Structure 1
Amino acid sequence: NLNDLTQWVMDQSASNANEVGAASVEYLMVFGYTALAYMWAKMAVVALTHADDTSGFYKAKVGTARFYMKRLLPRYIGMSAAVKGGADPLYELDDEMFETA
């Protein structure tokens, strides 16, 4: 979960300052997916109390929330794995390796 991932980054960065920068993009993506999941869950709770609505608005909210949870939110798993890949792979290649002749 996000708390565990945050703690992991903090623990790793205590001995290697490069870990924060290396984790930043994927960590923020995980944070964003988590925040959106929270918001969709809140919307779904409200929408479920409007079962008598005939416009389809609330039904669409519940359907979209389900879609998000089942199809988009699982992306956090790969992003979390990338964060835990650490900083070392980013620093294995020297600048000189990218120079052209």
Structure 2
Amino acid sequence: MQADPVLIRTTHDGRRIEVIGARICLDGQPEADELVVIDEHPNRQAILKVVPLATHVAGRLPLTLAEASVAQAALRRATDRFDGSAQAARERLRQVVWRKSVTDGVE
């Protein structure tokens, strides 16, 4: 069972930024599955020139602290639901192995 989308904000051009399941989406299309603190983002200076109040980034979406808090809470709720099926366990293991590989320099 998937939870209802959680609205983060609406962009100036009317697109919805929301958390759907365990993904942050723009107009219903997945953008990111995690938030990056602006201080850790490689393009932080360019982002802060355009959005000075940004504290986090989700894919290409800059978020303020309040927006990031709502998004993080919704992501946490989505991932806290534990699915103990074999398929879910395989998927979690696949994601962990992939993140480790990326961390070690495999692309």
TM-score, normalized by the shorter chain, greater than 0.5: no
Rg bigger for which structure? 1
Query: Quick check: which one's strand share is greater?
Result: 2
TM-score by length of 2: 0.26
Query: Quick check: which one's helix share is greater?
Result: 1
Where relative contact order (Cα < 8 A, 6+ residues apart) is larger, the structure is 1
TM-score by length of 1: 0.27
